[in-house]
Amino acid sequence: MTINAEHDRVISKKRKRGTEKGNELVKGSGKLVKFDDEDDAETKSTHSKQQISVPKPLPVLEPQSNDRRKSKKERAKKVEKTTENFESPPSDVHEIGGKATTSLSGQIHRSNASQPQTKHSTHLAKRSNAHQRNETQVPPHLSKKRDALLSTRKALPIWPHAEYIRAALRKNNVLVLTGETGSGKSTQVPQFLMSEPWCTKTIAITQPRRVAAISLARRVADEMGSLLGNQSPSAKVGYSVRFDNAAGPNTKVKFLTEGMLLQEMLRDPNMSQYSAIIVDEVHERSVNVDLLLGFLRNLVAETDQGTKRRNPLKVVVMSATVDVEGLVAFFDEGLAPLEVKTSDSKDQHNSCSSDSGSGNSSQKIPDIQSAVAKDNDQNARGTNQEQIRTPRISTCHVEGRQYLVKTVYLSEPTQDWVEAALKLIFQIHYKESLPGDILVFLTGQDTIEGLEKLVNDYAEGMDKEVPKLLPLPLFAALPQHAQQQIFQPTPYRTRKVILATNIAETSVTVPGVRFVIDCGKSKIKQFRNRLGLESLLVKPVSKSAAIQRRGRAGREAPGLCYRLYTEEGYKELEERTIPEILRCDLSQAILTMKARGVDDVLNFPFLDRPPREALEKALLQLLQLNALTDVGAISDTGLKIAKLPLTPTLGRVLVEAAERDCLLDVIDIISALSVENIFLNLVTEERKEAAEVARRELYRREGDHMTFLVTVQMYTEEHSDRKSWCEKHFVSHRAMQNVMNVRKQLHQQCTSLKLLSPHASTTSSSSAPSDSKTQAILASLLRGFISNTARLMPDGSYKTLMGNQLVAIHPSSVLFGRKTEAIVFSEFVFTGKAWARGVSAVQLDWVSEVVDAIM
């Protein structure tokens, strides 16, 4: 049943029944099977099953005010009690001193350190304090904060492992550290290492996302009693993300995004300013992290052989889930074969492991264990003698802090998980007392908005005694202020229902969630090499993603996770999400490798090796862009492109524009292409029509790219009130601010790459672009996007010039519905149909001109 059909059904039913309310919902719903969930969802079959009883009559709800206060008090009591009984931190104190929760605007909501701040006077604390005193004068308010935080730090599961971690890295250059959410690894490990004898320079610690890098840096600065790098020259903690560098001359611990470190690596291949690189959140397996690990493996192998660096580079690889063996083998294979011999390699794998987080267990330092010897290594050397492996890669595992979450499956599979989710939302709402918000994982904006409407419609008919339901959508394209709503305190007698995409899986931590509903699907991007087309389709999630989603229910208290699929369905899921590097267009990654000096990309140490076809396709593409020479070496053009924060195609467009004397215009266009949609997505017909009129002065018949140019130009020329200019034209002000950031960065980089004269004006000509200018701009676009061209067919459809692939102009394009002899487009996406987005009209002979120039 579609959302709309369901919606109609609901409405008509509501009209008929009037007062029967939400109870109706659960009737006829598939029965749910419930399992007790220990740690391991995979072993369910042995667990006792129980049928969830379908709709109880309306639960009698106690007066909420008392109820809520009482339960809070009770919980507080529980914390105290636990603290008395155990030396280890109470499990209620979740993530103390660990990650700060970040909202999307970068605001930080730190978890309260509810740990009583008693005076600890262990020798560790003394040592730490004395150490700090000797170094610099710390302003009193900073040292006060630092001392207050110390007890919280000591309560972290990772704290007892400090000495082990230090010893491991004194002995070996590589440490693989697994630690679950809340273990404190991201904040503590750099602090453990910074006063080590080998640590004469900076420690870098990478994060996949900007907000994480910034909030962790703030947290660690507080813990160390330091300012941030840009606040004072003496600051010891800093961060570096795009558009925001807060690292100072004395920065000892530097948090940065993976992409930022890769860029630094292009300038300084040996990472000579760092003593250690900590790569965090490796399990997310971004393309950047895969490249980093490959580069680091080579670097470690080089320093292992005593070249280039004075002190060997230390590498810590940190990951949440366990693929220790794989990571250990990965780094070990890079090292030179060892001469010595030893007994059975299997027994050598003893690692440090925390004692279920109880904290006081591991004061004794375990032996540093060795990497597992690889069989094929031995075979390669053609000897029957057993090889000795001196320990070379250390491992360590630290428990996290997570409450138990029960998992509930459907007893029968369902096609309509929107309906199933709707039923469950109300079932939970009627059955479970407050507080406890619901987080629903859905696939996209469409289903989210559909379900939001359904929940609202149903909720209208609820009894007045029943607490209210507040559905809140959450997806990346949602305006900032709307996203902020999930961080607002829940109103009195209300339960929030957050309807989210997988943005809530990693990027945004939603507070207050006790119930998770997981539809088991998500939209996955997959690049098709042969067509040069990326598809975005709804696919089943992996087990690890499902586990991650479930974990969102247990961050503040024990929780419940409802999976809108059967237990059998769960077992059939892939173990892990396919790493991005196996799914994406590799041209940018390959260019980065070439720029970093990797000549033989086919034999680059990939953690997961992309298929040869994908690598070759990317090489071919780079060759076509003249980023590589005929022999496959990086060209001058390629080097320039690699340093730009753009895909190789867009980088090539920019270089071409410099030659065709339209660089400033093309920078404006590319800046607009680099951010999310600059034109607001409008819902109602009324607003859509109003927008059509208001944007008339922006739209250009040449297509989207010239429209972007005019929009950016008019925006920059608006000096009085840009915000109201945006409102007037139904343009996203936030997107335009991002455009201006990118534009400024591109101006700077083009200047330093000598594509732009330092004296050039920073604004493109304000008057409407002449025909010849327009043609130069479109020719530059064609140079990069020559394979993204299509011609009009007699039947009115478009087919790509290379590949004869059917393609339609996307409804968001200003050329939507228009017929023109040929088009060039900057995006080629398949979502049920092949769409061209970012489309410009061109003439066929321009296309052949560019083709001739390339051949």
Partner DNA sequence: GAGCACTGC
* Among the residue ranges 161-169, 172-180, 370-378, 808-816, the one whose residues contact DNA (CB under 7 A): 808-816
Question: Tokens for 365?
Answer: 């330092």
By CB under 7 A, the residues from 649 to 688 that bind DNA are: 674, 681
445 binds DNA (CB under 7 A): yes
* Among the residue ranges 64-72, 113-121, 219-227, 444-452, the one whose residues contact DNA (CB under 7 A): 444-452
Residue 679 C-beta: closest distance to DNA, Å: 9
701 binds DNA (CB under 7 A): no
C-alpha–C-alpha distance, residues 302 and 799, integer Å: 50
How does DSSP assign 64-127, residue by residue?
A: HHHHHHHHHHHHHHHHHHHHHH-SSPPTTSTTTTSPPEE-TTS-EEPPP--S-------HHHHH
**Length of the chain, in residues:** 855
**Which of 833, 843, 844, 853 forms a contact with DNA (CB under 7 A)?**
833
Bridge partners of residue 405, in order along the sequence: 559
* Among the residue ranges 42-50, 112-120, 597-605, 805-813, the one whose residues contact DNA (CB under 7 A): 805-813
587 binds DNA (CB under 7 A): no
For DNA, the closer CB: 44 or 810: 810
For DNA, the closer CB: 211 or 247: 211
For DNA, the closer CB: 68 or 242: 242
The runs of H, that is alpha helices, within 542-624 are 543-551, 567-572, 587-595, 612-624
For DNA, the closer CB: 260 or 352: 260
How does DSSP assign 291-358, residue by residue?
A: HHHHHHHHHHHHHHTT-S-SSPPEEEEEESS--HHHHHHHHHHHSPPP----S-GGGG---EE-STT-
Please give the size of the binding site for DNA, defined by CB under 7 A: 53
Contact 822, 792 (CB under 8 A): yes
Bridge partners of residue 230, in order along the sequence: none
121 — phi, psi (to 5°)?
Answer: -130, 45
Residue 262 C-beta: closest distance to DNA, Å: 7
511 binds DNA (CB under 7 A): no
The runs of H, that is alpha helices, within 335-416 are 375-380
* Among the residue ranges 164-172, 256-264, 307-315, 662-670, the one whose residues contact DNA (CB under 7 A): 256-264
Please give the angle made by the CA atoms of 288, 591 and 840, to the nearest 5 degrees.
100
C-alpha–C-alpha distance, residues 252 and 232, integer Å: 13
Residue 817 C-beta: closest distance to DNA, Å: 3
**Which of 37, 835, 839, 842 forms a contact with DNA (CB under 7 A)?**
835
816 binds DNA (CB under 7 A): yes
CA distances from 560 to 439, 478, 554, 555 (A): 11, 27, 8, 11
Residue 675 C-beta: closest distance to DNA, Å: 9
Q: Are strands 108-109 and 101-102 parallel, antiparallel or unpaired?
A: antiparallel
C-alpha–C-alpha distance, residues 364 and 369, integer Å: 15
* Among the residue ranges 19-27, 156-164, 229-237, 804-812, the one whose residues contact DNA (CB under 7 A): 804-812
C-alpha–C-alpha distance, residues 575 and 577, integer Å: 7
Residue 193 C-beta: closest distance to DNA, Å: 23
C-alpha–C-alpha distance, residues 206 and 120, integer Å: 32
* Among the residue ranges 141-149, 230-238, 271-279, 521-529, the one whose residues contact DNA (CB under 7 A): 521-529
Spell out, one character per residue from 772 to 801, where the chain touches DNA: x when CB under 7 A holds, - when not.
------------------------x-----
For DNA, the closer CB: 718 or 827: 827
For DNA, the closer CB: 231 or 507: 507
Q: What is the SS3 assignment for 809?
A: strand
* Among the residue ranges 129-137, 469-477, 568-576, 847-855, the one whose residues contact DNA (CB under 7 A): 469-477
By CB under 7 A, the residues from 540 to 579 that bind DNA are: none
**Which of 259, 467, 471, 554 forms a contact with DNA (CB under 7 A)?**
259
536 binds DNA (CB under 7 A): yes
Nearest by Cα to 447 from 579, 538, 515: 538
* Among the residue ranges 218-226, 318-326, 397-405, 645-653, the one whose residues contact DNA (CB under 7 A): 645-653
Residue 300 C-beta: closest distance to DNA, Å: 23
For DNA, the closer CB: 394 or 588: 588
For DNA, the closer CB: 142 or 503: 503
348 binds DNA (CB under 7 A): no
Spell out, one character per residue from 212 to 251, where the chain touches DNA: x when CB under 7 A holds, - when not.
-----------------------------xx---------
C-alpha–C-alpha distance, residues 162 and 255, integer Å: 20
Q: What is the SS3 assignment for 661?
A: coil
For DNA, the closer CB: 305 or 677: 677
Residue 94 burial (CB count, 10 A): 20
- The upper half-sphere exposure of residue 817, i.e. CA atoms within 13 Å in the direction of its Cβ, equals 3
Nearest by Cα to 67 from 510, 436, 423, 488: 436
For DNA, the closer CB: 257 or 529: 257
Residue 297 C-beta: closest distance to DNA, Å: 21
507 binds DNA (CB under 7 A): yes
Nearest by Cα to 570 from 591, 600, 592, 549: 549
For DNA, the closer CB: 588 or 711: 588
Contact 712, 669 (CB under 8 A): yes
For DNA, the closer CB: 331 or 828: 828
By CB under 7 A, the residues from 476 to 505 that bind DNA are: 476-477, 501-503
Alpha-carbon dihedral angle through residues 23, 27, 31, 33, given to the nearest 10 degrees? 10
**Which of 88, 202, 286, 624 forms a contact with DNA (CB under 7 A)?**
286
Q: How far apart are the first and last CA of the chain?
A: 53
By CB under 7 A, the residues from 89 to 128 that bind DNA are: 104
CA distances from 554 to 35, 52, 403 (A): 16, 21, 5
525 binds DNA (CB under 7 A): yes
**Which of 71, 250, 263, 544 forms a contact with DNA (CB under 7 A)?**
263
For DNA, the closer CB: 399 or 702: 702
Nearest by Cα to 192 from 211, 179, 209, 208: 179
* Residue numbers at the binding site for DNA (CB under 7 A): 104, 208-211, 241-242, 257-260, 263, 286, 288, 443-446, 475-477, 501-503, 507-508, 522-525, 536, 588, 644-647, 674, 681, 796, 808-812, 816-817, 827, 829, 831-833, 835, 837
